[in-house]
Amino acid sequence: MKQKYEKIFQEFTFPSGVKVKNRIMVAPMTNYSSEENGEVSERELAYYKERSGGVGTFITACAYVSMGGKGFPGQFSIDNDKFIPGLKKLAKTFQSNGTKAIIQIYHGGRQSPSQLLPDGRPVSASAIAAANEGATVPREMTEDEINHTIHAFGDATRRAIEAGFDGVEIHGANTYLLQQFFSPHSNRREDQWGGSLENRMNFPLAIVDSVQKAVKEHAKTPFIVGYRISPEEGSNPGIQLEDTLQFVDKLADQGLDYLHVSVNHFWNGSFREKDNTQSRIIKIHEKIGNRVPVVGVGSLHTPDEVVEALETGVPIIALGREFLMEPKWMEKVQAGEEDQIRTTLSKSAQEELVIPDPLWDRLMNVKGWLPVED
């Protein structure tokens, strides 16, 4: 390994006490490959096994905490104890190769497709459709449903602990339910769960609290709790960067192990405020990085780009698409073979890359997701 890449392979200890062997996470990516009933499939286990070992921490695709929050076909569930045996297999798949396993837990809210839901209608903070054409108008959640969902995140965390995971990541990003409560577009409530900026924080903060209580009650060893956040959204009214800076200030006091900032590019500034060009990840790190570790992500493909990002002081970098194309990204950097890292997806490489059919079909048919070559 070249000396300049040593920073990538430094150990890191999260606030909870969990130690990881290097500074790279695999970002959560939907793979559409679970069984129809929500169980983890053998093809998923093979896909994850191929990509674990070299990397320090791996975040799974998101698991729904209740049936009313299922967001994708072929998605695994953490909403019932019957799924714990399959989830145990998943956790062990990572850990047997020396990688820490984090399961992402979430509720899709108004982004959940009607055809996947028991009652055929998604729920959200308010009965406001997403800003995209043809979006379904969700049903506004009742107080009981809100409380049930808060408890569901706690129950999901207990299941993750019983399944042997090293942590959970609360999915508060990418326009799903937690972000819908924080957003002035999707949340028009006038009760304790909406209205002011502070009230719009209440639901995600209550979920963090529910998760932390489950950890305190059920975890016998240190357990990671992370939170993923999108710093802005494009709808009007929508979340602005200043809103997020106030929110992360609150989140930094919740005893989290990390805050994972979901953006397309690590170095990009605000897309709502064109004159605000400083990286949003760095801006968040400068505000709260002394209280909670910040995870950076976004279009960092080469080890040189990763080192440059780490040199800003952001302690951990998540890579996603890079591990789809190159499962052995870490091993090749460590072996001094970084020039052999795949940066495109060959149409003949599915078997070699151990990518399940449903995910492969998406990669081949969704333009711009990955650079595909013949």
User: Average model confidence (pLDDT) for the chain?
Assistant: 97
Round the CA-based radius of gyration of the chain to a whole number and report it: 20
How do beta strands 57-64 and 139-140 pair? unpaired
List the one residue out of 41, 19, 153, 25 whose CA is nearest residue 90: 41
Could you identify the residue written with the tokens 């909403």? 79
131 CB neighbour count, 10 Å cutoff:
14
Segment 47-65, tens digit of pLDDT? 999 999 999 999 999 999 9
Domain positions in the chain = 3-340
CA triple 12-5-256, angle to 5 deg: 25
Residue 368 has pLDDT above 90, yes or no: no
Q: How does residue 134 score in pLDDT terms, banded at 50, 70 and 90? A: confident
CATH entry, 3-340, from 3.40.1210.10, 3.40.640.10, 3.20.20.70, 3.30.200.190: 3.20.20.70
What mean pLDDT comes out for the span 97-103?
95
State what percent of residues in the chain have pLDDT above 70.
100
Residue 97 has pLDDT above 90, yes or no: no
Q: How does residue 176 score in pLDDT terms, banded at 50, 70 and 90? A: very high
Segment 61-78, tens digit of pLDDT? 999 999 999 999 999 999
List the one residue out of 164, 180, 184, 163 whose CA is nearest residue 172: 180
Residue 133 has pLDDT above 90, yes or no: no
Segment 280-331, tens digit of pLDDT? 999 999 999 999 999 999 999 999 999 999 999 999 999 999 999 999 999 9
Segment 1-40, tens digit of pLDDT? 999 999 999 999 999 999 999 999 999 999 999 999 999 9
What mean pLDDT comes out for the span 344-372?
94
List the one residue out of 264, 352, 316, 258 whose CA is nearest residue 47: 352
Q: Residue 309 is which amino acid?
A: A
